[in-house]
Structure 1
Amino acid sequence: MNQSKIPLTSSELANLWMTYQEKTMILRILEHFIEHADNEEKQLLQSHYNGAAKNVEMITSIFKQEGAVIPIGFTESDVHKGVPKLYDYMYDIMYLHMMTKVEMSLYALFTGMSYRKDIEDFFIGLTAESQAMNSQSTQFLLEKGVLVRPAYVSMPKEVNFVQDKNYMGGLNWFSETRSLNTVEVSLIHHAIETNLVGMQLMIGFAQVATDKEVQNYLVKGMKLSKKIEIDLGEFLRQSFIEPPATHAGKATTSKTAPFSDKLMMYNTSLLTSFGLGSNALGGAFSLRSDLPAKMTFHAKDIFTFAQEGGKIMIKNGWMEEPPQIEDRNQLTKGE
C-alpha cells in the first residue's frame, strides 16, 4: 500500500511538528556557532547543520503533501549575524553533545509512536543520525581533554544478591549509608554533565536577553542548574568520587544577543522538559531512598521553573500552538 495515502495519526502529526520546532531552532544556533568556529569544529557543526536542514525540508514536504500548514518554528529573524561569539573554547561542540542526547531520546520515543512506515523510517533515520553525531562529538571532546569520563570501578568477580534490609536506606544518623552502585553513579554523572553545560547556556542567554523578565527568568535557570549540580555532586563525594567538571565551554562577556529572546526561551523550555524526564529516570532506577527524595525536590523546582517559562512565552506571543484536535464539545453547545 502507498504509505502516503494513509492519513497521519495525531501522534505522527504532533511528533513531526515538535521535530520541526527543534530542528529549526538548532539551525539558528548552529549558524552562530559555525560563524565563529575553528575549522576542526566547523566540520562537525556543518555536518549536523546539513542534516538538520534536510530533515526540515522532509517535514515540510510531508506537511504539504498532507495539506497541513507549515509551522513557523525559528527563522532567520531569530539569529543575528555579525555579532561577537557568546561562548568560548569548545562550547559549540559541548552544546552539540548535549543536544544530541536530547534528540536521541526524542526520536527513539517518536519512532515507537509512529504507525505509517515512511514516518517510522524517518524517525529511525533521525535516531541514527543523532546517535552518530553524539558519538562523533563525544570522541572529539575526549580527544581534546574537555569531556570527563565517569568514575572507573573494579570489575565484579561474582554475582551477589541484596541481603541487607538497609540497602534501600539513605543518608541518616543511625546507620552507615552504603556507597552508590554503578547504576546510580552513571545517572548522577549524566545529570551533572548536562547541568554544567545547561548552566553556561543560561549564563550566556541571561547576559544578552533584551527583555528584563526573560533575563531574570534565565538567571533563575542558571541558579537552578547550579543547585542541582551541587546537590548531586555531594552524593558522589560521599562515595569518594569527584563530580565531573571541565575547564572549557564558558560564556564570554559579550552583551550582544546572537539569538532572539523567543529562541532562547524555547531552548530553555526544551532542556527543562528533558531535565524533568532525566530526573524521573534517575529517581526510578535508584535503590537508595535519599537520592530519589532529592530528585523529587529537584523535579518540583524544575516543574515550577517550566511553568513560569511557559507563562512568559505565552505573554509575549512566542509559544506556537501545536495542531489541535477538533473540539467536539462545540457540537453540543446550545442544546
Structure 2
Amino acid sequence: MKIQLNASEIANLWTTYMNNLMYIFSIPYYMKKCEDEEICSIIELTLEISQEIVVNVEEILKQENFPLPLGFTEEDVDLNAPRLYSDQFALIQYNALAENGLEFYGLSLVNSTRVDVRDFFTHCVSLTTKLYNQSKDLLVKRGLANSAPTIPIPEKADFVHQQGFLTGWFGDRRPLNAIEINQLVFNIRGGALAGAKLMSYSQIAKSKDLREFFIRGKEMCDKHIEVFTSLLREDDLPSLTTYESEVTNSTIPPFSDKMMMFFIMTIGAVFISKYGSAIGLCNRRDIGLHFTRLLAETAKYLEDAANIMIKNGWMEQPPQATARKALGENR
C-alpha cells in the first residue's frame, strides 16, 4: 500500500523547492559576474545541485498530484545589472548556504517516513556535503575561512565542582568554554554575512519603506555582532572579519524586492534556529540571556518582514491542515 506524504515531508519538500528555485534564478547573476575560475566552479556546482534537487522534488510532488509552488521566475533577476558583490563574497555566501543546507536536509531526513523521501534527503545531504567541503577548502586556501580562535588543550579531563560555573551577570565570571566560543563564533559569522546582504539590499531596494527596513536589519546585525564579540574580547579572544567591503557601491537591483524579502525571511529563520540551539548549549547565564533577548528581537523583525510580504502579495501560502471547525460552521 502506498504511504501518503505526511505533514513533515510536505513541509520540507515544499521549503526545499522554494529555496532551490530561488537559487536557480539568482545564481546565474553571480555566474555572469564571476571572474575567478576557482570560485566560478563553486558557483556552477551550486547551480547544478539546486537544479537536480528541484527536478527530484517535482518528481515526488507530481506523483502525488501535488500543485507545485509558484516560487520565482526569470523576471525576479536582472542578469545585466552591475556587479553588486565580489567573487569572494559569492564563495562565502555559497559555503554558508551549504552549511545551512546540511542542517536543514539532515533534519528533513530524520523527520521523513517514506523511503523515497528519505532517499531524496539522503542524496541532498550527500550533494550538499560535496559543495560544503569544496567551498570550505577554497576558503581555507584563500585565507577566508573566518575560523574560531584557538584555545589551550586541557591537561586532563575534569568535572565542574562549583555553581560559579553557571554565573553570568553577578560575581566573577569564568572564562568562556569551547562550546560557548563555538556558538558565539558561529553566530558572528552568520551575522556578518546577513549584515552585508542587508546593506547591499538597502542600496538597491526600489521602495523607500524597504530600504529603511533593510537598514534596520543591518543595524540589528551590527548590534548582535557587537554583543557576541564583546564576550570574546573579555577573554582576549580575537574578533572575526565582517564582509561589508565585499559589497560594491551599485544602486541598480539585480534582484526583485520579492526575492530579497524571501531571502531575508529564509536567513532570519536560520538565525532563530541557531539562537535557540545556543540557548540550550551555553552554560553561562549571561550568554543564554543574551541569545534569548536577541532571538526575540529577530523574531519581531521577521514578523515585520512577513507583514511586508503579505501586504505586497509576495508570500506564497505553505500547505496547511483542513479547517474542520469552519467546515462544520459553513454547512
State the TM bucket, normalised to the shorter chain: over 0.9
Once residues 92 and 103 of structure 2 are traced to their aligned partners in structure 1, the CA distance between those partners, rounded to angstroms, is: 17
Aligned residue number for residue 282 of structure 2: 286
Q: Which deviates more from structure 2 when the two are superposed, residues 192-201 or residues 148-157?
A: 148-157
CA contact (8 A) 2:102 2:128 kept: yes
Q: Secondary structure at the match of 2:23?
A: helix
- 1:206 and 1:149 map into 2 onto residues whose CA distance is 28
Matched residue, 1:20:
17
Q: Assess if the C-alpha contact under 8 Å between 2:84 and 2:248 holds in 1.
A: yes
The worse-fitting range, judged by mean Cα deviation, of 272-281 and 148-157 is 148-157
Whole-Å separation in 2 of the counterparts to 1:170 and 1:334: 55
SS in 2 for 1:124: helix
Provide Cα deviations, 1:99-130, integer angstroms capped at 9, x if missing partner: 11221111111111111101011011112222
2:27 is matched with which residue: 11, 15, 30? Answer: 30
Cα RMSD between the aligned structures?
A: 1.5
Q: In the alignment, residue 314 of structure 1 is paired with which amino acid? A: I
Aligned partner (choices 292, 296, 314) of residue 318 of structure 1: 314
Cα distance in 2, alignment partners of residues 254 and 11 from structure 1: 41
Task: Name the CA distance, whole Å, in 1 between partners of 2:142 and 2:6.
Answer: 45
| Separation in 2, partners of 1:13, 1:164 | 47
Structure 1 runs of 4+ off > 3 angstroms?
A: 246-249
For 1:212, the equivalent position in structure 2 comes to 208
For 1:298, give the aligned amino acid: L
Which residue of structure 1 aligns with residue 95 of structure 2? 97
In structure 2, how many angstroms separate the alpha carbons of the residues matched to 1:247 and 1:295? Answer: 22
SS of residue in 2 equivalent to 1:90: helix
Q: Which runs of 5+ in 1 are unaligned?
A: none
| Residues matched between the structures, number | 330
Q: What percent of counterpart residues are identical?
A: 25
Mapped to 2, the partners of 1:131 and 1:116 lie a distance apart of 23
Distance 1:327 1:247, change over 3 A: closer
Q: Determine whether 1:146 maps to 2:157.
A: no
CA gap of 1:262–1:248, structure 2 versus 1, over 3 A, is: closer
Moved more, 185-194 or 144-153: 144-153
State the distance in 2 between where 1:334 and 1:186 align.
54
Q: Tell me if the contact between 1:146 and 1:248 (Cα under 8 Å) persists in the aligned partners.
A: no
Q: CA deviation at 1:254?
A: 0.4
Structure 2: tracts of 5 or more residues without a match? none
Distance in 1 between residues matched to 2:63 and 2:243, nearest whole Å: 48
> What CA distance in whole angstroms lies between the structure 2 residues aligned with 1:326 and 1:171?
47
- Paired residue type of 1:138: K
Residue of structure 2 aligned with 1:299, choices 295, 315, 326: 295
